[in-house]
Structure 1
């Protein structure tokens, strides 16, 4: 049949000339033959010849020397030159309005949104509260620019405002979850952030992301502060978590079992900060009457606690 016949036939031949390890010349001849009706012997043929020849070799271009004092290492994450002018709440309000007017998928929107994030970093808590009163509206497409920008702000004032919005129920549940997960990316946590967030752990509505987000923030804070055990805000969080554990993580029913597993996971998240809870974790893991899930979770809670911390009952004491 015609489908079994060869319709296209191609041939390519190249000759290369190498001199001193460098390609000096290349000549190629290509032939393409198309036969639409092979049985009749008809068709077309195209022949192409090409030639490349090395003309000259240039020495490596030397880069202009730069003074080492002008070089520095930095992260490109949200990098922008700091503005020296004072940012006012009115200007930020106008920026939020502008974001609502432009198309949500345009390049202009991306630039304006980043500007909003950086300008929020210059506002005090009082200014942010006033801004929220003026700019908490939703755009036509149901978008709230201010809600989405706050988690990227990463200042103490922004974190405190986010906490207030969550505690008052002014933000939807999915946005609250977004707030909590954003704590993981705050580069320089402060004791003020931790102090503000600690009461959320006592709420009956505290979610998994609430526990894990706050304790991740706690771990990063203690990683940068050698004496974080003495910080009152850190002690408050550990006191709340320790109260959940009781003396040995005893649980009464399946609901308390799930809650205890979450608290133990959060303690593991806290890492360095949770070293003072090591004796209680040891009791939780060694108590035979505890469910196996609790005992394993207690052991896993040690994952970030330094090995220098003596764990009674779990690890043998050193001489």
Structure 2
């Protein structure tokens, strides 16, 4: 057998200079010889030289200690300084036009959209309605900036306007879904929001996102303003949900079964706001003729209702 041929031969030599215990200079030479196709020790050779030299030594920088009194805990939510100037509908209309002209995937468009959201919060319902009449157009890429911005606005005026847009059928399906799911993120819900949205529960073909979004908003409202069972808007939603239960959650077919499961899930979402429905929920859970799915859903609907309220 032939002896093994060494394909790669490498060599590294370094010379270091140390002064007062500190590396002052280092010079290294690295050589590599590739002899894959060579028969007499010749081949491709590379040589690399590197040099490292110490120029200066700096003393350690001592940073000033921060007083713990100057530190505070806050959330990671985006904060923006509130403007003190008065925002007009004309300015916001112009902003929507600028958004339409800007390319959607740019920092400029993102900044304009964020500005639009925050400026919408300063407009009254009347001003928003005028703005909608002027700016409900679609951009060249079929985008409606105002419809996208309203759910993020999170004021009562924005919620009421968006509800009217939905009721009139002017919003596309995906925008309606997005709006309902955004309701659970509204930081400071009001009874006016709930009062405005409540009729949508009775609208033909009310979707899952409608029931769950409105009841999530209801739960957040009651978590902040307790007790809330005396608020007329809360009572309206609770009565509407109770009507769907039909006394003991009886269903006749698979379609009614799905609808009843949705209503029970929405009641569970509402939590303490739906505490008055506890007796009906108990009937739904204990009625032996009800499908097992309904009985379990009725039990799960108690998940946010404290025992003291049942």
Answering whether residue 46 of structure 2 is matched by residue 45 of structure 1, we say: yes
Mapped contact 1:5–1:38 kept (Cα < 8 A): no
- TM-fit CA distance, 1:308: 3.2
Mapped contact 1:29–1:48 kept (Cα < 8 A): yes
Alpha-carbon displacement from aligned partner over 1:196-244 (angstroms, at most 9, x marks no partner): 0001001122100000000000010011011111111111101000111
- TM-fit CA distance, 1:246: 1.8
**Matched residue of 2:306: which SS?**
coil
1:1-319 correspondence runs (5 A) = 25=23, 29=28, 31=30, 33-35=32-34, 37-40=36-39, 41-51=42-52, 55-63=57-65, 68=70, 73-75=73-75, 77-310=77-310
Mapped contact 2:222–2:228 kept (Cα < 8 A): yes
Distance 1:239 1:79 in 2: 38
Distance 1:157 1:32 in 2: 75
Alpha-carbon displacement from aligned partner over 1:129-174 (angstroms, at most 9, x marks no partner): 1110110000111111100100000000000001111111111111
Q: How many equivalent residue pairs?
A: 300
Distance 1:36 1:193, change over 3 A: farther
**Matched residue of 2:250: which SS?**
coil
Mapped contact 2:100–2:140 kept (Cα < 8 A): yes
Distance 1:27 1:241 in 2: 80
**Matched residue of 1:33: which SS?**
strand
Mapped contact 1:264–1:297 kept (Cα < 8 A): yes
Distance 1:65 1:238 in 2: 51
Distance 1:230 1:190 in 2: 14
**Matched residue of 1:39: which SS?**
coil
Alpha-carbon displacement from aligned partner over 1:104-130 (angstroms, at most 9, x marks no partner): 112111111111111100110011111
What is the TM-score when the length of structure 2 is the normalising length? Answer: 0.87
Distance 1:81 1:7, change over 3 A: farther
RMSD: 2.9
Distance 1:85 1:291 in 2: 59
Mapped contact 2:15–2:28 kept (Cα < 8 A): no
Query: Structure 1 stretch 103-112 or stretch 46-55: which is displaced more?
Result: 46-55
- TM-fit CA distance, 1:39: 3.0
Larger Rg: 2
Distance 1:222 1:14, change over 3 A: farther
- TM-fit CA distance, 1:50: 5.0
Mapped contact 1:136–1:146 kept (Cα < 8 A): yes
**Matched residue of 1:170: which SS?**
coil
Distance 1:277 1:189 in 2: 22
Alpha-carbon displacement from aligned partner over 1:46-102 (angstroms, at most 9, x marks no partner): 24455476934404311566974xx65544534211111111111111111111111
Q: Which runs of 5+ in 2 are unaligned?
A: none
- TM-fit CA distance, 1:253: 1.1
Distance 1:134 1:111 in 2: 22
